Amino acid sequence: MSKKTMDDLFLFTAEPPAGKPAPQDPPADEDTSDVIPDADAPDRHETGSFMIAGTDNLFGELWEDAGPGDGGPSAGTDQRVPRQRPRVKAEEFATQQREISISEFFAKNKQLLGFDSAARALMTTVKEAVDNSLDACEDAGILPTLIVEIVNLEDNRMCVIVQDNGPGIVREQIPKIFAQLLYGSKFHRLRQSRGQQGIGISAAGMYGQLTTGKPMRITSRIGERHPAHYFELMMDLKKNRARIVKDMIVDWDVGHGTRVEIELEAQYKSGRQSLDEYLAQTAVANPHTEIFYTNPRGEKLHFPRVAMDLPRQPEEIRPHPHGVELGMLIKMLRESPHRRVSASLQHEFSRVTPRIAEEICQLAGVPITRNPQKLTGDEIQALYKAIPQVKILAPPATAVVPIGEELLRRGLARQIRGAEFYVSRSRNPRVYRGNPFLVEVAIAYGGELQGLVDHGDPGDIAVAGVSLDQEKTVASALLDLPGFTRKKVAECLEKSGISPRKRVKSLEFSEIAQLRSAYDTYARQEADTTSAQIIRLANRVPLLYQLKACAISKAIMDMNWRRYGVTQPRGGFPQGPLVIMVHFASVWVPFTSESKEAVAHYEEILEEIRLALQDCARELSGWLARKVKIKANRERKSLFQRYIPDLARSLAVLTGGKAKDLDGMIQEALEEYAEQVALPEMVDLEAERVPVNAFDGDGDGDDDNDDDNDDGDDDSDSDSGDDV
Amino acid sequence: MATKREKKDEQILARMRDLAESVITGFREKGNPPVMIPQRSLSNSVFDEENSIIRMGDKLQERVFFHQGQAKRFMQTFLVATACKELLDVKKTTSIRDLFYMTKHTLARGENTFDDQSESDPVLEDLEVTLGALREELHLFASNKGTMVGNLTLIDSGDTIDCRSMGTGGYGIPSIVEEHVIQFKKCEADFVLIMEKDAVWRRLNEDKFWKKHNCIMMQSGGQTSRGVRRMLRRLHDEKNLPVYVLVDNDPWGFYIYSVLKFGSINLAFESERMAIPKARFLGLSSFDREKFDLPSVVTIALNKEDEKRARQIMNYPWFKDKRWQNEMKKMMDSKVKLELEALSSRGISFISEKYLPEKIMNDDYLE
């Protein structure tokens, strides 16, 4: 036990104080006696006996030497016990500690995993299942097609069904994967992936079991030649083991894939934190994915595939020495199988050559021949201080995969329809705490704000895309529209000069036009004072909760948007018809909590987000400034177009030519003319832009003709700003 | 003669086709082809001192399609040309009013090709100068304007017209008075008297002034139309009749005289066949008020517009003659203008019995 105590001491000196978000340090959370140093070991069963010390640490609470009252972190009420008393009882506690299973712990702390309310439980369950499915498909090189269905049952219960066309799971693994917490292949590797801990899907099953008593149902098939296995699984919460209720072979018309069905107490909510929104954002973040979704109301939504290529498979890497935390360093050296500290440094870290290892040791005053397991705390401290002073190549960028500027924009344009301006930026990978990461930003701005559908037919009057009831008065028909208040209706009618008592069916054509334009004005005003919609993505997973706690939100709020011509209240989100999407991709996403809802505030991360936002905002402001000009240009073009038919006809009569041919010819000349008029601006832009190759993971093109860009001083090539 | 006209038609049709072809070629090369239009402006009006007429200079104005301010005009120019081609093709002649309706239709968003005739008339004038064709050569005529009576018999399209028996209305002067339409048969008059006011003309007609003084009387109802001018010029040329002009004593009156005498800025290209350098300005002169003892109560104060126009006219090169400058100066100094009707303050037939005979007998005119 004495060695363990020392470890713990080291660990805690390395940890940031409680309350400040800490990056998750997976191996540090485990009892050293259970640790298998090989990070790739896929089949570990030991995770069940999770030590209190570890769990405590996991949640950033301070470890009082011998621990509090009953030893469970859930009972953190009685921490100020005099030192002598717990010493006496320490061993007794130690035995109790071993008996507390992680399943039990999580069952009491559902909120940490995102199951604190019925609404969030539904979201988290779908999220975990979808994450798993997408990761599995991508690992297997399959373009994911997902079926997500939420069936409303009685008594506030719902059944979540998520089915994928992934590789399937071999029979023996099914119970462990779905009914054993902390079992998974992602926990032990440093690679960009959606799931990280292997807690998710089993926790969802556990929640279902706790609230409905129903087992989770799994169907999986690994190929045409193999049978489909159907399991019904319950969880033994004490032992963290699966209890197999049913295990049978079934007929399944799916070639390969996995289907998960979980019954749980759930609540469906609409709005910005809805499941619909989550899946739509998932589709944006994963343009190679197709999703068929049936929500609890029975509405079917289809999110088609935008990209036909899978994103590049992220490579697995070792940590980079720069930015590694002391605790992590201690752990890595202690667990290293090598005999010499220099060898350990070389093999446990990426980008450390023999020369660099030697340099680090030299600077630290540690002989390179020292056995890493026997290093003293002071020696490790010295190494820790030496590392940042040595120049080391940046970690391989291949470990992080961007969505890509073009796909980001296309994906965003698909979901946020009708915006006038889209811009996106993928930053080059950077490092925080030894982990490579990259930031991508896409912005959609302005536009029709679900513009009024112009049917042209007075018999079918639609405002904001909703048909008005023909038999009602204009006022009451407008009031039926979503988001309309009496005040809004009154204003619209006053502006358009229509009597509120007039019947919809007797509206004049010109009155409909007036009504629409009055609504447009109103909607625009309203949109101008509404906060921007923020879409946060971490490793392609949408984050819907804890908006204010997230580094992404902080970076957005800290930026001075007014500089770019966007309104922003002091210290708040920018306002206007604006959607800001930020994607954070890393081998290890530093979430603020296990429910994985907010990215921790690391300086390096905030900086990168800020730079990407600035890149996009610069283009946006250039576009905003030129919007007026563009509009004038377009109007001028349309002015010519108005006269072309008559001119062409006249010329045809005078020369005996064909009006149609002449019309086309003049149109072409107009295009040429319009281009020439716009030409000087574009030439300037090209000259200003410094082309530096951005890291371009999945090879998205950057050959767009971006005539709405300005922004001369960005440091990556851009391919955005289409004016739609 | 018919063949001569047909030949002219052919010629004009060919010019129209060439104009259109040149523009098409420009568009085909993705350019912005111009139509070169001789400028109808003061700056492009040259005073030919030797012949004492205003001629059009050689300044050209470019009209292109891809220009916000010119696009519509450009289209209109060809629209009008097309209408003229149709007229030439079917060998019919119509009024410029008709032309307006032939070419008027609605474009997108309720916009019309032409909103009113004042918009299509200048386009037609542009086309005339561009093609070097007169209005009648484009088979167009203006509405009749101006009437005449007097000791003259003429043949209008085969009908014999005796201008001595035209009642109170007089003979309406057609827009086209060329030889192929009108021939003079018997002319006994000694001079022509042209006035801007219909009311004055009626007074003189009722008083049978033309009978007493053996003349032809015309009224133009304001600025003289091309038909009136051409008729005057023909009578002046072919019958050697002096032309006396009777207008209000204000800048506008002076300018009417100026147009008759030297030609107009706008139609400078027609001066040669319309201007009458020897036209005589009979009145009202700025000096007549004193000469004929007109009460000051009949004068009208010059307004800003009048003064501005007077200054403009004084600056025209063809108005540089000292006598004209004196006339204008006198008017500017007295700060009043006089209408022809002011003469009635001295008696209803003062003009026909006293003013005109005295002026003509005494050769009290400016030339």
Cβ contact, residue pair A650, B81, below 8 Å: yes
Q: Coil, strand, or helix at residue A181?
A: coil
With 0-12 / 13-18 / 19 or more C-beta atoms within 10 angstroms meaning exposed / middle / buried, residue A479 is middle
Q: Which residue of B has its CA nearest to A647?
A: B75
| Comparison of pLDDT for A686 and A524, the residue scoring more | A524
What pLDDT, on the 0 to 100 scale, is given for residue A293? 93
Reference A700, options A340, A354, A318, A405; nearest CA is: A405
Q: What is the per-residue pLDDT across B49-84, written as a single tens digit (0 to 9) for each?
A: 888 888 888 888 899 998 878 888 999 999 999 999
Q: Who among B71, B74, B78 is closest to A654 (CB)?
A: B78
Q: Are residues A241 and A267 in the same domain?
A: yes
Calculate the alpha carbon distances from A116 to A108, A132, A261, A265, A558 in Å. Answer: 10, 21, 20, 11, 30
Cβ contact, residue pair B65, A643, below 8 Å: yes
Mean pLDDT in residue range A564-590: 86
Cβ within 8 Å of residue B335, ≥6 positions away: B301, B302
Mean pLDDT in residue range B216-234: 92
What pLDDT, on the 0 to 100 scale, is given for residue A523? 63
Q: Which residue of A has its CA nearest to B105?
A: A646
Note whether A422 and A412 are within 8 A (CB): yes
What pLDDT, on the 0 to 100 scale, is given for residue B49? 85
Q: Which residue of A has its CA nearest to B23?
A: A651
| Comparison of pLDDT for A37 and B196, the residue scoring more | B196
Q: Which residue of A has its CA nearest to B64?
A: A640
| Comparison of pLDDT for A437 and A271, the residue scoring more | A437
Q: Which residues of A touch B16 (CB under 8 A)?
A: 654
What pLDDT, on the 0 to 100 scale, is given for residue A94? 56
Q: Coil, strand, or helix at residue B162?
A: strand
Cβ contact, residue pair A669, B85, below 8 Å: no
Cβ contact, residue pair A650, B30, below 8 Å: no
CATH number, domain with residue A130: 3.30.565.10
Q: Are residues A329 and A206 in the same domain?
A: no
Using the CB atoms, write b or e for A38-47: b if 16+ within 10 Å: eeeeeebeeb
Mean pLDDT in residue range A13-31: 40
Note whether A463 and A481 are within 8 A (CB): yes
What pLDDT, on the 0 to 100 scale, is given for residue A453? 26
Q: Which structural domain range is residue A265 located in?
A: 105-303
- Pick from A26-35, A110-119, A235-244, B224-233: least confident: A26-35
Is B48's pLDDT higher than 50? yes
Strand partners, A147: A163, A292
Q: Are residues A220 and A281 in the same domain?
A: yes
Q: Mark which of A389, A412, A427 sits at the end of a domain.
A: A389
Alpha helix (H) ranges present in A238-352? 275-285, 326-335, 341-348
Q: Tell me, yes or no, whether A18 lies in a domain.
A: no
What pLDDT, on the 0 to 100 scale, is given for residue A294? 92
Instruction: For residues A374 and A629, give the distance between their C-alpha atoms in angstroms, rounded to a whole number.
Output: 71
Answer whether A632 touches B (CB < 8 Å): no
Q: What is the per-residue pLDDT across A598-637, written as a single tens digit (0 to 9) for each?
A: 999 989 899 999 999 999 999 988 888 777 666 667 777 7
Average pLDDT, rounded, for chain B: 89
Q: Are residues A328 and A237 in the same domain?
A: no
Q: What is the per-residue pLDDT across B101-116, written as a single tens digit (0 to 9) for each?
A: 888 888 866 788 888 8
Q: Which residue of A has its CA nearest to B109?
A: A642
Instruction: For residues A256 and A192, give the distance between their C-alpha atoms in angstroms, rounded to a whole number.
Output: 24
Cα A579 from chain centre? 15
The continuous run of DSSP H or E covering B45 comes out as: strand B45-48
Q: Which of residues 525-554 of A touch B (CB under 8 A)?
A: none
Measured at the CA of A716, the angle between CA A715 and CA A719, to 5 degrees, comes to: 135
Here the tokens at position A445 are: 């701005």
Answer whether A647 touches B (CB < 8 Å): yes
Q: How confident is the model at residue A3 (pLDDT cuts 50, 70, 90)?
A: very low
| Comparison of pLDDT for A684 and A628, the residue scoring more | A628
Using only the alpha carbons of chain A, give its radius of gyration.
30
Q: Are residues A216 and A353 in the same domain?
A: no
Average pLDDT, rounded, for chain A: 74
Here the tokens at position A368 are: 């390179």
Strand partners, A599: A591
Q: How confident is the model at residue A25 (pLDDT cuts 50, 70, 90)?
A: very low
What pLDDT, on the 0 to 100 scale, is given for residue A436? 85
Note whether A487 and A503 are within 8 A (CB): no
Cα-flanking dihedrals φ and ψ of residue A503, to 5°?
-75, 145
Q: Tell me, yes or no, whether A190 lies in a domain.
A: yes
Q: Are residues A226 and A260 in the same domain?
A: yes
Q: How confident is the model at residue A556 (pLDDT cuts 50, 70, 90)?
A: very high
Tell me the shortest Cα–Cα distance from A518 to chain B, in angstroms. 20
Q: Which residues of B touch A647 (CB under 8 A)?
A: 65, 74-75, 78-79
CATH number, domain with residue A332: 1.10.8.50
Note whether A461 and A610 are within 8 A (CB): no
Mean pLDDT in residue range A452-465: 39
Q: Tell me, yes or no, whether A148 lies in a domain.
A: yes
Q: Are residues A135 and A185 in the same domain?
A: yes
Note whether A145 and A165 are within 8 A (CB): yes
What pLDDT, on the 0 to 100 scale, is given for residue A79? 47
Q: Tell me, yes or no, whether A672 lies in a domain.
A: yes
Reference B263, options B96, B52, B59; nearest CA is: B52
What pLDDT, on the 0 to 100 scale, is given for residue A190? 62
Instruction: For residues A30 and A102, give the distance between their C-alpha atoms in angstroms, rounded to a whole number.
Output: 12
- The fraction of chain A above a pLDDT of 90, given in percent, is 24
**C-alpha neighbours within 13 Å on the C-beta side of residue B26:** 18
Sign of CA dihedral B243, B249, B251, B252: negative
Here the tokens at position A506 are: 């007797």
Q: Tell me, yes or no, whether A570 lies in a domain.
A: no
Cβ contact, residue pair A654, B68, below 8 Å: no
Cβ contact, residue pair B68, A639, below 8 Å: yes
Q: Tell me, yes or no, whether A589 lies in a domain.
A: no
Q: How confident is the model at residue A270 (pLDDT cuts 50, 70, 90)?
A: confident
Cβ contact, residue pair B65, A642, below 8 Å: no
Q: What is the per-residue pLDDT across B324-353, written as a single tens digit (0 to 9) for each?
A: 899 889 999 989 999 999 998 888 889 989
Answer whether A377 touches B (CB < 8 Å): no
Tell me the shortest Cα–Cα distance from A507 to chain B, in angstroms. 20
- Pick from A248-257, A500-509, B16-25: least confident: A500-509
Q: Are residues A631 and A669 in the same domain?
A: yes
Q: Are residues A241 and A132 in the same domain?
A: yes
Q: What is the per-residue pLDDT across A372-424, written as a single tens digit (0 to 9) for each?
A: 888 888 889 999 999 988 888 877 777 788 898 988 888 888 777 778 888 99
- Pick from A250-254, A459-463, A470-474, B119-123: least confident: A459-463
Is A555's pLDDT higher than 90? yes
What pLDDT, on the 0 to 100 scale, is given for residue A678? 58
Q: What is A439-475 written as a DSSP string?
A: EEEEEEE-S-SS-------TTS-EETTEEPPTTSBHH
What pLDDT, on the 0 to 100 scale, is given for residue A95? 56
Alpha helix (H) ranges present in A468-508? 474-479, 486-496
| Comparison of pLDDT for B131 and A413, the residue scoring more | B131
Cβ within 8 Å of residue B362, ≥6 positions away: none
Catalytic residue ranges of B: 101
Q: Mark which of A245, A275, A303 sits at the end of a domain.
A: A303
Note whether A440 and A408 are within 8 A (CB): yes
Note whether B106 and B122 are within 8 A (CB): no
Q: Which residues of A touch B75 (CB under 8 A)?
A: 643, 646-647, 650
What pLDDT, on the 0 to 100 scale, is given for residue B82? 93
Instruction: For residues A302 and A453, give the distance between their C-alpha atoms in angstroms, rounded to a whole number.
Output: 22
Crossing angle between the packed helical segments A377-386 and A326-335, to the nearest 10 degrees? 120
Answer whether B79 touches A (CB < 8 Å): yes
Q: Mark which of A270, A303, A336 sits at the end of a domain.
A: A303
Tell me the shortest Cα–Cα distance from B273 to chain A, in angstroms. 29
Q: How far apart are the first and last CA of chain B?
A: 37
Instruction: For residues A273 and A278, give the distance between their C-alpha atoms in angstroms, rounded to a whole number.
Output: 7
Domain count, chain A: 3
Single-letter residue type at A326: L
Say if strands A145-152 and A290-294 run parallel, antiparallel, or are unpaired.
parallel
Q: Are residues A174 and A231 in the same domain?
A: yes
Q: How confident is the model at residue A130 (pLDDT cuts 50, 70, 90)?
A: very high
| Comparison of pLDDT for A673 and A46, the residue scoring more | A673
| Comparison of pLDDT for A283 and B110, the residue scoring more | A283
What pLDDT, on the 0 to 100 scale, is given for residue A2? 43
Q: How many interface pairs between A and B have CB atoms less than 8 angstroms apart?
A: 73
- The fraction of chain B above a pLDDT of 70, given in percent, is 99
Q: How confident is the model at residue A67 (pLDDT cuts 50, 70, 90)?
A: very low
Helix, strand, coil percent content, chain B, rounded in steps of 5: 50, 20, 35
| Comparison of pLDDT for A10 and A556, the residue scoring more | A556
Q: Tell me, yes or no, whether A88 lies in a domain.
A: no
What pLDDT, on the 0 to 100 scale, is given for residue B171? 94
Note whether B344 and B251 are within 8 A (CB): no
Answer whether B78 touches A (CB < 8 Å): yes
Cα-flanking dihedrals φ and ψ of residue A430, to 5°?
-130, -175
Cβ contact, residue pair B78, A643, below 8 Å: no
Single-letter residue type at A42: P
Instruction: For residues A597 and B112, give the distance between their C-alpha atoms in angstroms, rounded to a whole number.
Output: 61
What pLDDT, on the 0 to 100 scale, is given for residue A467? 58
Say if strands B147-150 and B60-63 run parallel, antiparallel, or are unpaired.
unpaired
User: What torsion do the CA atoms of A665, A670, A671, A674 make, to the nearest 10 degrees?
Assistant: 170
> Cis omega before residue A143 (within 30°)?
no
Q: Which residues of A touch B78 (CB under 8 A)?
A: 646-647, 650-651, 654
Could you give the strand order of the β-sheet that contains B191-195, starting from the edge strand earlier in sequence? B171-172, B147-150, B215-219, B191-195, B243-246, B280-283
The structure's pTM equals 0.48
Q: Tell me, yes or no, whether A231 lies in a domain.
A: yes
Answer whether B102 touches A (CB < 8 Å): no
Top-ranked range on mean pLDDT: pick from A29-38, A95-104, B339-348: B339-348
Single-letter residue type at A699: G
Q: Are residues A221 and A351 in the same domain?
A: no
Mean pLDDT in residue range A666-676: 85
Q: Are residues A237 and A374 in the same domain?
A: no
